[in-house]
Chains A and B, each alone.
Chain A
Amino acid sequence: MLEQYGFIALYSGLVFVFPFLGMLTAWLLRPKKPNPIKRSTYECGLETIGDTWVQFKAQYYLFALIFVVFDIEAVFLFPWAVAYRRLALYALVEMAIFLLILLGGLLYAWRKKALQWQ
C-alpha cells in the first residue's frame, strides 16, 4: 500500500511541474508588448471605479459556516461507512441519531432564514 503512495508522490510532483512547463513554453513563444491600456482592468471599455477588494456580502460567510458543519460530519461519516458491515446494530442507531441532530441543525438554519438568499 505504501508503494502506491510513492507513485502518488512522484505523480504529484510531475503534475505540479507540468502547467509551469506549459507557461514557460508560452513565455518563450509569445509576443511581449505590454502597455498601460492593455494592462488596465477589463470592464467592457468602461473605466473601473473604486477599489476591487472591498467588503463583500456577509451571506457568503453564513453558507461557509453551514458548510464547515457538514464537512466535519463527512469526516465522521466515511470511517463509519467503511466499518459499517462489521459493526453491530448499535452503529446504525448511533449514526441515525447523529444524522438526525445534523438534520435538526439544518432545519434550525432553515427556520432562521439562513438558507434564504437575499
Chain B
Amino acid sequence: MDFVSDLFVNLGRVWTDFLSMYLAPWLVRLINWLIVSTILLVIGLVTVLFLVWLERKIVARIQDRPGPNRVGPFGLLQTVADAVKLLTKEDITPAGADRIVYNLAPALATFSALMLMAVLPWGPRLIAADLNIGVLYLVALGSVATMAILMAGWSSNNKYALLGGFRVVAQLLSYEIPMILAMASVVLLAGSMSTQAIVEAQSPLPYVVFTPLAFLIYLLASLAEVGRVPFDLLEAESELITGYNIEYSGMKFAFFFLAEFINTFIVSIIAVTLFLGGWRGPLVDRFPVLGVFYLGIKVFVLLFAMSWFRGTLPRFRIDQMQMFAWKVLVPVALVNLLIVAVAVKLPGGLWAQAAFALAGNVITLLVTLGLLGRAARRFAERRGERLPVTT
C-alpha cells in the first residue's frame, strides 16, 4: 500500500537503487535524465494524439455531426493515421524561400513547446527540473515560439504567410504583457518562481480565490498566445488561407501542428498550476499518486472549455484584438497587481488577505465592465445605432 500510494516516486527510487548497485553515480544520473527526457517527449506526443481527436470530437458534437469514427474504436486512431500520412507526403519548398530559416522554423516551434514541459509539476515531488526561476523560464521559452512563427512567415516568400507573420508579432507581443502581469501576481502571492513551490503554497486556498481576475486575464492571454479561437488571427483560414504555415507541407507542417497542440496542453497545465492548485486535492498528502489524477481532471476541464470556445465563438478583428489587449487587459492587470501587493502586506492572516484581494478583484471587474459597456454604447451612438437593452 505504501508503495502504491506514491507509485511514481517509489518506482523511480527502486530503479535508481537497482542501477546504483552496478554503475557509477554519474552514469546512473545520466541514464535517469535520458529516461525522464524520453518520458516527457512521449507524454507530449501521446497527449497531442489524444487532444486532436478530443477536439475534433467535441467540435463535431457542437456542430451536430459524429466527427472521426472510422479508424480505430471511436476514431481514436484517426490522428495516428493522419500523422503517418503527413510523414509520407511530398515536401514542397517554395522556389524563393529562404531555405535555412524555412527549415529551422518548425524545429524551433517544436523545441520551444517541448522545452516548456521540463518545469511543469505533475505531482508531489514529480517534476523533471524544479528550477527556482520556473515561471520566468516558462515566459522566456514560450516567447521562442513567437520567433519561430515569424521566421516561418518571413521565409516562405508568400504574401499571405508574411501577413500571418506580422499578425503574430502584433498579437503575441500584445498579449504577452497581460500574461506576464497575471503571472507576476501569482509569484507575488507565493513569494517564489518555482512551479512546485507555487503549487505547495496554495494549500488551504488556491490562488483563483485570491485573484479570479488574474486567472481570467491569464486564460484570455494564453488563448491568444497559442493562437486559438477567438484569437486565431494568425492562421485565419478564411482570410489568410492559414497564414504563416501556408507553404509548409508534410512533416514540417506536422511539427507546427504538434507545437500548437502541445502549447495548448501546456498552457492549461500552467493555468492549473498557477491558479487552481495544480495537483492539490483531497487526500493528496496521504496518497501522493492521486495528484496526477487531480491535475489531469483540472487540465481536462480547461481543455474542454477551450474546444468549446472553438466551437462557438467567432473571430476577433485585428483592431479589436489590439484594443482589447492594450486598453483593457494591460491596465486591469496592472491594477490587479497593485491590489494583490497591498493584500499581501495586510495584517490579519491568510483569510483577511484573501477577502481583501477578492473584494478588490470584484470591484475592478465591475468597474471594467461598466466602462466597457459605456464605451460600447458611445461607439454605437456615433454610428447612429441603438444598442439592444440587455439585462
Contact = CB atoms under 8 A, between A and B. Distances in A.
B91 to A, nearest CB: 6
User: Interface size for chain A: under 10, 10 to 19, 20 to 34, or 35 or more residues?
Assistant: 35 or more
Given A1-B132, A7-B128, A14-B37, A44 B241 contact: yes
B330 interface: yes
A60 B30 CA distance: 46
Contacts of A56: 162, 166
Interface residues of B, number: 80
Nearest to A110: B327
A32 interface: yes
Contacts of B160: 43
Given A19-B110, A44-B241, A81 B92 contact: no
A108 interface: no
A30 interface: yes
Given A1-B132, A82-B193, A74 B184 contact: yes
B253 to A, nearest CB: 10
B274 interface: no
A29 B87 contact: yes
A110 B327 CA distance: 8
B90 A41 contact: no
Nearest to B162: A52
B384 interface: no
B95 interface: yes
B111 interface: yes
B29 to A, nearest CB: 8
Contacts of A70: 177, 180, 330
9 contacts: A7-B129, A15-B37, A15-B115, A34-B92, A48-B158, A70-B330, A77-B180, A78-B187, A106-B330
